Every structure is written in C-alpha cells, then in structure tokens.
Homo-oligomer: A and B are copies of this chain.
Amino acid sequence: MGKHEVTLRDIAKAAGGISYTTVSRALRDSPLISQEKRQAIQKLAAELGYAPNALAQGLRGVRSNTIGLVTPALGDPFFAELTVGIQEVAQPQGISILLAVSTNTAEGELEIIERLRRHRVAGILTGASRITEQYKDRLLQINIPTVLINAQLKPHDRSLCWIANNDPNGAEQAVNHLLELGHTAIGYLGVKSRPKSSGQRLEGYQAAMIAAGVYRENLVKIAEKTSEASSKEDLGVGEAYLDYFLDRKVGATAIVAYNDSVALGLLHACRNRKKKIQVPEELSIVGYDDIVLAAYAAPPLTTISQRKKLIGTLAMQMLLKLLNDEPVEDRLELPDLVVRESTAPPR
C-alpha cells in the first residue's frame, strides 16, 4: 500500500508515456480520446483502484454534488421516514448527503449553516422546524439553494422554497371527525418544543371548534416542560397531561394530540390510571403523523397521516430543480385522516 491515494498522474505513469490530461479525458469519456485508449485507461484505472478526489473536483468548480441535510432530532420517527424518501432520490443521482443535527438552539443553527457552507454544499434540505429569523436571513444571504420542509415562507425567493404539510387542515380533519362522532368537549394537547407545527395544528383545531360553536379556552393545553424535541419527551408529555383533560372543570371526551408519540403517551396513561380509562369507549384520542407503530398500538390509533416518504421524495426533487435553475413551486400537501380504533362516539 502506497502512502497516498491513486491519482491521475499515477495512472498516467503506469500506462506509460501518456500525460495525466489524457487520463482525465479518457475517464470522463471525452470524444477527444480514441476508443481503444479510452477503454485501456479505464481498465487500468479500475485495476489500480482509482477513486476520483471529490475535493479536488469540487475545488475545480464542478458542481459539488453534495447536499446538506439539517434535521432537528434523529430520534423522531417522522424524520427517519422522511430521510428514506430523500435518500431514494439522491442515491441514483450520485448525490452525497452531509448530515447536520440541529441542537434546537439558535446558536447551533447558525453554526450548522457555517459548517455546510464550509463544505460548499450545492444545496440544503432542512427540516429544522424552529427556524428563527436569523436562520432564514442567513440562508437567503448566502444564496445556497434550499428547500424548507414543513415550514412556510412568504417571500418567494429564487433560491429558497418550501414544501409543507397542511397542518391546520389536518387538525381540522381530526376535529371534524370527532364532531361527526358526536363529541363537543374536544381537547388539544400541544408542545412547546416545536412551536411552529404545534401552533399551526392548534390554529386548525381552533378554527374547526369555533365554526362548530364549541370552543372553550381550557380545552387547550400546551405542554411546557419539554426542551428537547424527541420521541421520548413527547411520550412523557402525553403521560403527564392526561389528568388535566379528565379534570371535571375540563371534562374532555376526546383529545387531539400534537403527534402520535404524544397520543401513545396518553394511551399509556389511560391504562396506568388507578381507575383505568377505556379507549375509545370513555375517551377518544386522535394522533398526528401516522408513524409505523400507530397501527400497532392498543387500540390502533386514529391519526392524521402525513405522506412522509413522499414529502421527502418531493423535497429532494424540488432541490434538484433549484440546482438546475428550473422554476419551482412551493407545495402544500394535504394530509389524510386514517380512522382506526381509538375513536368512537361518546357515551
């Protein structure tokens, strides 16, 4: 094993009296090189185990074919599925993904952008739900094509676009489903750790409740404590706030949860109560996201399904278009209501 990686010059040397320029052209299938020489060189390169130096290529100005993926919390099953869709588009295109986990602090976010910029990524895909103004401004300023996932933006800038789930609509669907079943005391349990999406779902909830004339302020609870945006925390939230909704003053017969993890936490608390609460007979629960495990809960969870993999796929395709300077339109995807067994008419 030599000390350094094989370079174009090494191949040229091994091939005899040709220059590395010729090798470069041969490997890139330039028509300037004769067929036979081209094949001979390609074979030789393969034998030597040549791998073109992406750093040098990038430095040379060739499009870096590396993109940055910013995700708030890897533990979140939502992002896991999203990434699958992203990967499926990126892989065949030969695009590499630089992973950056945002640590929910504004300082961390800027740091992440700097890192991606240092690596000269061609584009950025970000699912950081808590996008501060600083973050957005910086993103616009540095002018790297970026697709925001689940964040909407007003100004339609050339290099910045977004794809989002229609959160208010999803929450409305959840409430309407419960209204149709006959519920009126429908609670909403949100979280502070992801104010954007939790807020939007709250909006949809409120709109539907007000339209039906059954809105009460104490039916809404936003969990305070979670600092970290993780599945574990969400489960804890559900567990901690069940009692609030069952209190006589609130008297909820149904709850719309911020997401499936929160809903599963609620379910768990129902089972663990000294006086067990039967779901859906005594309390209906609706989740949000439709994570894989939602269908396997006891009882299987009625939820709002985001097409996570599809959103990932679309986001990546949008970024590709941005990179090719093609026109791109922002997208707002409609979620679906999936009725399972955690909802039923009130007694």
Contact = CB atoms under 8 A, between A and B. Distances in A.
Nearest to A3: B143
A326 to B, nearest CB: 20
Interface residues of A, number: 56
A89 to B, nearest CB: 12
Interface in A75-110: 75-77, 80-81, 83-84, 87, 91, 94, 96-101, 103
B80 A75 contact: yes
B55 A143 contact: no
A56 B292 CA distance: 43
A292 B231 contact: yes
B53 A118 contact: yes
B268 A235 contact: no
A101 B98 CA distance: 12
Interface stretch (A31-39, A240-248, A293-301): A293-301
Contacts of A141: 1, 49
Contact of A54 (B119, B295, B296): B119
Given A87-B101, A231-B293, 11 more contacts: A1-B143, A52-B118, A54-B118, A55-B56, A55-B59, A66-B98, A75-B81, A75-B84, A94-B115, A96-B115, A98-B98
Interface in A57-85: 58-59, 64, 66, 69, 74-77, 80-81, 83-84
A323 B64 CA distance: 26
